Structure 1
Amino acid sequence: MESAIVVKPPIINVAAICGSLRKASFNHSLIRSAIDLSKQSVEGMSIQYVDLSPLPMLNTDLEIDGKYPPAVEAFRQKILQSDCFLFASPEYNYSVTAPLKNAIDWASRPPNVWADKAAAIVSAGGGFGGGRSQYVLRQCGIYVDLHFVNQPEFFLNVFEAPSRFDDEGNLIDPQAKERLKSVLLALKVLTLRLKAK
């Protein structure tokens, strides 16, 4: 009797990018929680955090003989090798942070390594929960040819419910975790759809 062949779903490689460099930021917590969820309840998805802190500020004088600085090249390779992206985007002055915009610009230098890939955005903060930064990020994504998940959206107002995180900064709110999982599942669906083209 022949044994059944089990076909495993393809592994989607997700680059997780946080616009805050502060290690204790709530947006870093969202990335950590997404990584945990991908291991526990989102089959076929591997999320790797990509640190933006080594990147120099964009300066095309640093491009010598068609080559980028080592930290920039390492970052661009991580973006190139990823199937899709998860952005955790805090809101500074109604916009995205300088480190995040800098990273987008470096990876868009020729050849643009963002192009034709799926992306999702989550954010945590006060006021609108980082929502306005998401809309600015979507505008940037149009030019660099990213395909964003439109629904569900994920904004988390940490002032309305500070108990959403524990003392160590871990996301503990069950409803927020479920919403975050929904974003990951939508990102997976969109990524597979784009890869099937």
Structure 2
Amino acid sequence: MDQASLINLKTGEPVSWEKLEDKNVLNAVSFSPLWVLILSLLSGFCFAAQQICKDSLTGMEIELVDISELPLLNTDLEVDGICPPVVEAFRQKIAAADSILFASPEYNYSITPALKNAVDWGSRPPNVWGGKAATIVSAGGGFGGGRSHYHLRQVGVYVDIHFINKPEFFVPAFNPPPKFDGEGNLIDPMSKEILQQILVSLQEFTLRLSGNAQ
């Protein structure tokens, strides 16, 4: 995001980057990669979703947002109600989005600390998640990361995220046939088909929430 475009989400006024940088006392804390393989698989989901939108789903674009540079949530980092620049840039991307695609691995039966941290920063006043349509995809062993879905849905209740209910998509990435190639690209035809169904459902739900359903 262009530094000149940074605004105060509370007041709509431009924010001085020099003022924020002078008072910012902590550097960003990187939370990723937690698992290089899993994050690679989930990036593959995002790239596949982008390709599906390009090839066969008109009126929808997907942007991959990096959350690895967000600092650990600490309200002491806020200056006059403004978060650190990297956080404000992230929050404004969320605020501008029509809907959200969460690609979430599972960690100890829950979502990763990095994702929870991103959700928490987005919920700082004003809450930029409120009213957004969303869906979740995951990949991993066993249940394919499915338990993380239900924990993320629980968190979403408080921050007012509206998740689609069906279809759900948990990919047991290490079971045959191969779901991803060596570079993390989604190659399984059935998985691609389900992902497309999810994107269609997300698009329809987003339009319905906005009052623009056909």
TM-score range (shorter-chain normalised) is 0.7 to 0.9
2:81 match: 66
Aligned partners of 2:115 and 2:168: how far apart in 1?
Answer: 19
C-alpha displacement at 1:20, in angstroms?
A: 6.2
Unaligned runs of 5+ in 1: 1-18
8 A contact 2:133–2:161 mirrored in 1: yes
> Residue type matched to 1:64 in 2?
V
Query: What residue is the counterpart of 1:37 in the other structure?
Result: 52
Alignment counterpart, residue 76 of structure 1, candidates 91, 111, 114: 91
Decide which of 48, 52, 68 is 1:53's aligned counterpart. Answer: 68
Equivalent residue for 1:160? 175
- 2:12 maps to what in 1? none
Q: 1:148 aligns to what? A: 163
Equivalent in the alignment of 1:14: none
Given that 2:32 and 2:68 are in contact with CA atoms closer than 8 Å, whether structure 1 keeps it comes out as: no
Cα 1:64–1:89 shift into 2, 3 Å: same
Q: Give 1:134's match in structure 2, choosing from 146, 149, 153.
A: 149
For 2:120, the equivalent position in structure 1 comes to: 105
Q: Deviations over 1:74-122 (max 9, x none)?
A: 0000000000000001000000001100000000000000001100000
Q: Counterpart of 1:158 in structure 2: which amino acid?
A: A
Q: Which residue of 2 aligns with 1:5?
A: none
Give the gaps of 5 or more residues in structure 2. 1-30
- Give, in whole Å, the separation in 2 of the partners of 1:152 and 1:56: 33
Q: Contact (CA 8 Å) 1:87, 1:121: kept in 2 or not?
A: yes
Conserved? CA contact 2:110–2:147, under 8 Å: yes
Match of 2:111 in 1: 96
In the TM superposition, residue 65 of structure 1 has moved relative to its aligned partner by: 1.1
Does structure 2 retain, via aligned residues, the 8 Å contact 1:114–1:146? yes
CA distance in structure 1 between the aligned counterparts of 2:144 and 2:171, rounded to whole angstroms: 5
Structure 1 residue 50 displacement after superposition: 0.5
Are the counterparts in 2 of residues 20 and 90 from structure 1 also a CA contact under 8 Å? Answer: no
Q: Is the 8 A contact 2:129 2:160 kept in 1?
A: yes
Check 1:172–1:20 CA distance in 2 against 1; reply closer, same or farther (3 A cut): farther
Distance 2:177 2:42 in 1: 14
Find 1:170's aligned residue among 159, 180, 185: 185
Contact 2:164 2:202 in 1 (8 A): yes
Whole-angstrom distance in 2 between the partners of 1:167 and 1:132: 26
Deviation at 1:28, TM superposition (A): 1.3
CA displacement, residues 8-38 of structure 1 (integer Å, 9 cap, x when unaligned): xxxxxxxxxxx96456521111111111111
Q: Aligned-pair RMSD on alpha carbons?
A: 1.5
1:117 aligns with 2:140: no
Q: Which runs of 4+ in 1 moved over 4 A?
A: none
